[in-house]
C-alpha cells in the first residue's frame, strides 16, 4: 500500500473535524441512509435517550450533515434527512465497518490471548 505522506496531515488537529468515533454520529448517519426518518423512528432502533438524540441531531445539523424539517401538524411531525454532504460520509464509514467486520475475529483472538 502506498500512502501519500501528507494524507494524514489534517488528522493532526487537536479535535477531529467530525467526531466520527463518538457514540452516535455514525449510527445516526447509517440509520438515515435509506431516506428521511422521524424522531420516533430514530429513537427506537438506536435505543438512545431523547436528550442525547436531540443533542446529536442538533450538532449534526449545525455541521450541515442533515436537515430538520418540522411540519406544522398535530401531533407534531419532524423529519430528519441526510444532506448531500452527510451522504458523502457514508463511504468512509463503510470502509471502517468493512474493516471491523473483516478483522473482528483477529482482534478478539488477540484480546483473549
Partner DNA sequence: GTAGCCAGTTTCGTTGCGGTAACCGGCACC
Partner DNA sequence: GGTGCCGGTTACCGCAACGAAACTGGCTAC
Residues making contact with DNA (CB under 7 A): 22-24, 38-40, 48-52, 54, 56, 58, 68, 70, 74-78
69 binds, among DNA, a copy of itself, none (CB under 5 to 8 A by kind): none
CB distance 66 to 27 below 8 Å: no
CB distance 76 to 70 below 8 Å: yes
Sheet of strand 66-71: strand arrangement? 37-38, 77-82, 66-71
Closest C-alpha to 27, from 42, 49, 11? 42
Going residue by residue from 15 to 44, which x/- string records binding to a copy of itself, judged by CB under 8 A? -xxxxxxx---xx--x--x-----------
Residues within the interface to a copy of itself (CB under 8 A): 1, 3, 7-12, 16-22, 26-27, 30, 33, 62-64, 85, 87-101, 103-104, 106-107, 109-111
Amino acid at each position: 500500500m502506498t500512502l501519500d505522506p501528507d494524507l494524514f496531515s489534517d488528522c493532526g488537529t487537536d479535535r477531529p473535524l467530525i467526531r466520527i468515533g463518538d457514540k452516535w454520529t455514525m449510527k445516526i448517519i447509517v440509520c438515515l441512509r435509506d431516506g428521511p426518518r422521524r424522531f420516533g423512528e430514530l429513537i427506537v432502533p438506536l435505543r438512545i435517550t431523547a436528550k442525547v438524540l436531540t443533542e446529536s441531531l442538533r450538532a449534526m445539523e449545525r455541521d450541515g450533515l442533515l436537515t430538520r424539517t418540522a411540519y406544522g401538524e398535530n401531533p407534531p411531525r419532524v423529519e430528519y434527512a441526510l444532506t448531500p454532504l452527510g451522504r458523502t460520509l457514508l463511504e468512509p464509514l463503510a470502509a471502517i465497518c468493512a474493516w471491523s467486520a473483516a478483522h473482528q475475529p483477529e482482534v478478539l483472538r488477540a484480546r483473549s490471548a
